[in-house]
Amino acid sequence: MNGLSDIKQDIQHIAEAMLSVLNIDVTIVDEKLERIAGTGTYLNKIGEKINRHSAFKKCLEEQILIYIDDAKRNQICKECYNNEHCKEFAEVCCPIVLDGHSYGVVGLIAFNEEQSSRIVNNAKDLTNFLGKMADLISNKLKAQNKTEELELEKKKLEILLNGMNKAVVSIDIKGNIDKYNLKFKETFNIKDDKLETGNIFEILDFIKETSEKDFKKYRTGIFSYEKNGRNLKGIYNINKIVVKNKLKGYVIDFIENKEAIKNYNKINKDYKITLDNIIGNSDIIIHTKQKSLIASKSSSTVLIEGESGTGKELFARAIHNHSNRTDYPFVTVNCAAIPDNLLESELFGYEEGAFTGARKGGKLGKFEVAHKGTIFLDEIGDMSLHLQGKLLRVLQERELDKIGGKSNISIDVRVIAATNRNLERMVQEGHFREDLYYRLNVIPITLPSLRDRKEDIPFLIDYMIKEYSQKLDKDVIGIDEDVKSALVDYSWPGNVRELQNIIEYSINMSSSRILTLDIIPNNIKVQYYDDVKDKKEEIRTLEDLEKEAIQKAMNKFKNYKKDKELVANALGISRATLYRKLEKYNLISK
């Protein structure tokens, strides 16, 4: 907040104007009782502090107007240490108050009989006048504060806008540019002089001038910009500026496709997933990760095969993140989830007017969005033969033909496809193109089922318990050994995805810090109890039983001095017999 010293030039002008009207000396002090303006006798005393026992001090603190018609007899003046030497005959002082706070005092001082009589004879008019001057000064201060606040807010907005990773421009209702940020200037490579006097409809011809009633229809769209050395495609959004129910202009923001995908990837939890993050130390998973790492260093097409739930997309994303394309888009398309008549436009895009109902401005296909990055085609076995032919052309020619397009578009995209179906058999049955199969199957990677890597299950369980406990805000820290055995021995038709589902379910159902057998799904419990029953009913040889009994006794008495004697007594045999049995079963410690 500013003080009177910040507007002292204006205040000095006010003091001089008051002198010319009243012919009475004027002095003005701030809240520190420092003189910041004055006339006549006080002109050379600007910058000095006044007596802290003065009428000005009382006026400032109590926010009252003080009128002194006889400085020699007034009680306030008697308290002043300079009373005996004071040259003032009379004075009127008024506080300068803004929002309840005293910022200073303005005073009229009489140094002779003529000025004194003028104050005394015109007391009422002078006090009113002085109050108005105090209000004038406080309003000046308020205006200064408001100006600086606006300047500060303006500066903050400029810094905020220039710090945005998005191009932004504001225009009036005729399209004339008001403000823009550095990102807008850099994105479209437009010079300052053209921006400062330019019209958005001339500079960016893809934005069409529309009436207010058409605004809702055209407030967002896809743009293509090929000027000033730029070749951009992306999305723009237009928002109205309305003040007191009147349209004053628009704010337009622009997002490049590359930036949009990057930003999406950054907030996606799997954005920086690497092969090291994939849990498992079994030989088969280590071999799979090593092969995936080798594949990541190539630009050749990868075909990932594996049962549902084995982590095909996870491996695809990790391969992308280990490649030299990691800073570019990773775009996923589930070929089984999109109807065949929509999948073509989803993959390859279309031009404006390509068919009835085509979006204004056309549509960017996933291949175009993934330029210089990776496209992951999940469930590739569900793609129709018609689209397989178009995909084959993209892989062979490295260019795509948009629906309704007049020319082909060159692209640089690494393809990773995935399926849980047997594509080789589908080729033999005529359901999948043989030439496309060989184009996709350049680097084949087969993901093992969870049944083939059961030694990884305990590690996966520990990780999932931590993840879902945090996600569900539950205090689960571990798992009972019986539950762990049940999960390890289970057949896992749904693989890792099924394990995730069971751990999440069990944590939701658990009321303790340890997952117990009673809360896991029934199908796993039934298989576990059947396995336990089979083990109990298993017939074992007498030698196995004898060896187990001797080992159990040895473990019990191993820390005793006469351990062998105690073991023999516990088993009901002699020491000689015990030694013979130990040698027979190779239980003698070396």
What local confidence, expressed as pLDDT, does residue 531 receive? Answer: 55
Contact 66, 127 (CB under 8 A): no
CB-count burial class (<10 Å; 0-12, 13-18, 19+) for 251:
middle
pLDDT band at 419 (very low <50, low <70, confident <90, very high): very high
CA distance 498 to 449: 12
CA distance 232 to 225: 5
Question: Average pLDDT of the chain?
Answer: 83
The SS3 call for residue 95 is: strand
Beta bridge pairs of residue 98: 101
Contact 346, 333 (CB under 8 A): yes
User: pLDDT per residue over 50-77, tens digit each?
Assistant: 876 678 888 998 999 988 876 666 666 6
The candidate with the shortest Cα–Cα distance to 130, out of 36, 18, 34, is 18
The SS3 call for residue 269 is: coil
CA distance 68 to 79: 14
Average pLDDT over residues 248-267: 68
For residue 479, report the phi and psi dihedrals to the nearest 5 degrees: -140, 140
The candidate with the shortest Cα–Cα distance to 483, out of 449, 521, 453, is 521
Q: Which residue has the tokens 């995936």?
A: 292
* Percent of the chain residues topping a pLDDT of 90: 27
Average pLDDT over residues 463-468: 90
- Cα torsion 585, 588, 589, 590: sign: negative
For residue 414, report the phi and psi dihedrals to the nearest 5 degrees: -90, 130
CA distance 42 to 49: 12
CA angle 327, 329, 333 (to 5 degrees): 150
User: pLDDT per residue over 343-395, tens digit each?
Assistant: 888 888 877 666 655 555 567 788 888 888 899 999 999 999 989 998 998 89
Contact 373, 330 (CB under 8 A): yes
The SS3 call for residue 29 is: strand
| 267, amino acid identity | I
The DSSP element (H or E) to which 318 belongs, if any, is: helix 312-322
Answer whether residue 536 shows pLDDT above 60.
no
The SS3 call for residue 428 is: helix
Query: 104-120: string of b/e by CB count within 10 Å (b at 16+)?
Result: bbbbbbbbeeebbebbe
pLDDT band at 590 (very low <50, low <70, confident <90, very high): very low
Average pLDDT over residues 321-333: 88
CA distance 171 to 249: 5
Supply 301's token pair: 């097409």
The DSSP element (H or E) to which 536 belongs, if any, is: helix 522-536
